[in-house]
Amino acid sequence: MKILNNQLTFISIEFVLRAYIRHKISPIPPKYSYQDEKGINPAFQTIEEVKSLLFMNEKRIFALRDDLLLATGVKNAYQEHGYEGLKRAIDSQNHCFINWTDRYGHPSLALIDDSSNGKVFYAGFICQRQGYLEIFLSTGRYNRVDRVDEGIQPLTDEQTTILESYLALKFTQAYGNQPVYFYETSPGIQDDQDSALFFTDTPFPQSKVPRIYKKIDILKASELASEAMHYENSKIYIRNYIEPVNPKYQYNNEGNINPAFQNIEQVRFPLRLLEKRIWVLRSDFTMALGVKNAYQKEYGYQGLKENFSECSFPFINWEDRYGHPSLTLTENNYDGSVYYAGYLCQRKGFLQVYLVSGRFERFDLNQKQTQILEAYIASLLQSAFGLQDIVFDVGNSDDPAYHQIFFGHGLFEKTNPQRKYSSSDVDNILQSITLETMQENIGQNQWVVKQSL
């Protein structure tokens, strides 16, 4: 499903919504905890792992975690309302492995691990009703009511619309295409009363009006999110004021698509510390990633082997370098040209963008062009790999000392040209791109970015 907007043809609805959530909404910690809630939910599934529809009135808990993993499970509580969801969801022969004193509430979906610090964007319950999916926003720990003293503000209408549209999109992908109804509740007596109705499958009163999301509503929300992220104007500027470049040369042993090819929309997990990727921003605005098969002898780099299991090795052409051209094979109306290219490396506290690509290196951009292009790329990278500073390091493919430092996990000297973009830097630059500023002299320098770490 793609945005029906000419300027955003190659950015998916899901990615735009995720980008907005990542940049514009802060996840929150639990308000309190119980001593009997310590284990991971026995029915834990990511939304992508869901393979079957819910039965009528079947329920799940969900939490959209701070790493944007949408987790589902089954709660062990509300037996006072006759709810026995966990016993029904888990095969009886496995009941002996479950700690029945654990409530397995929303925190059981958001345990602290390598990619999550235990915070949550949104949480509640899912229930399949006749003709629609019901989302009951009951979660004592992760509500935002009366938490201003903790620095937690209520969501704005725009934030709510985009966040719920993203959830509606993911839920309908997993549980079938249907309207999604979101019902609010308030902590305390109201929640207790609403929970009694929800868990006994009694309809909410007509006075409780849900927010309803269908396909058209999700589409509108994605357009709202893309406008807030300034993607449309960024692409208009890049397309009109920056000329894409073609490869300067080619090798005979480079003719296949990269085995690890991903577009930025497909990234679901952060890179491990010091893990590397090659990347290009193509002239069709596909941001493509892959892993290079080179530099084993020179620098001891084994990235391709480290990213695939041995059973996959027979299907890989180990004679192919799988360099940047493996991300730019011509197809349909795409001619193989790019706007920018280089390497990524996850560093401690920031994502490094190493601007060496041999074939696609360019030194023709002025400061304004560079800042807009890099801010746009930084926004995509922050959306995919997590909010962190994006540091662009300039290199020289003709000087092997740069590769020795990069592939040796070293850092460049502070005198080496470097540009750092925080999330606020990115927002300031991209929101300043207007139709009026595009008419200004292309040589004017309008934005300032930190030049060193």
Predicted pLDDT at 35: 81
Q: Crossing angle of helices 423-431/367-385, nearest 10°?
A: 130
Same domain? For 347 and 433 the reply is yes
CA dihedral (167, 171, 177, 182) positive or negative? negative
Residue at a domain's end among 190, 224, 258: 224
Q: 132 and 243, same structural domain? A: no
Question: Is the whole-model pTM more than 0.85?
Answer: yes
Residue 404: inside a domain, yes or no?
yes
- Judge whether 199 lies within some domain: yes
| Cβ neighbour number for residue 299 with a 10 Å cutoff | 15
Same domain? 311 vs 326: yes
CA 216-63-25 angle, 5° bins: 65
The pair of structure tokens assigned to 325 is 């051209």
| Residue 445 located in a structural domain | no
* 350-355, strands of its sheet edge to edge: 262-263, 287-290, 276-282, 338-347, 350-355, 389-394, 418-421
Residues of the chain with pLDDT under 70: 1-11, 437, 439-453
pLDDT reported for residue 177: 96
Indicate the residue among 209, 224, 239 that finishes a domain: 224
* In a shared domain, residues 220 and 238: no
pLDDT at 7: 39
Answer yes or no: do 114 and 164 share one domain.
yes
Residue at 443 is within a domain: no
Same domain (yes/no): 174, 285: no
pLDDT of residue 440: 63
What is the per-residue pLDDT for 439? 67
pLDDT for the residue numbered 38: 82
Nearest Cα to Cα of residue 135 among 191, 206, 196, 210: 210
Is the residue at 451 inside a domain?
no
Total domains, the chain: 2
Answer for the pair 73, 44: CB distance below 8 angstroms, yes or no. yes
With respect to residue 448, please indicate whether it lies within any of the assigned structural domains: no
Contact by Cβ (8 Å): 374, 392: yes
Both 215 and 319 in one domain: the answer is: no
Pairing of strands 59-65, 120-129: antiparallel
Host domain of residue 325: 230-438
- The answer to whether residues 213 and 241 belong to one domain is no
Domain boundary among 224, 241, 264: 224
Query: Are β-strands 132-136 and 180-183 bridged in parallel, bridged antiparallel, or unpaired?
Result: parallel
Does residue 371 sit in the same domain as residue 416? yes
Q: Does residue 402 share a domain with residue 270?
A: yes
Whether 217 and 246 share a structural domain: no
What tokens were used for 187?
């902590």
Domain presence at residue 453 = no
On whether residue 449 sits in a domain, the answer given is: no
Q: What is the pLDDT of residues 211-259, one digit of tens each?
A: 999 999 999 999 999 999 999 999 999 999 999 999 998 888 788 999 9
> Do residues 190 and 259 share a domain?
no
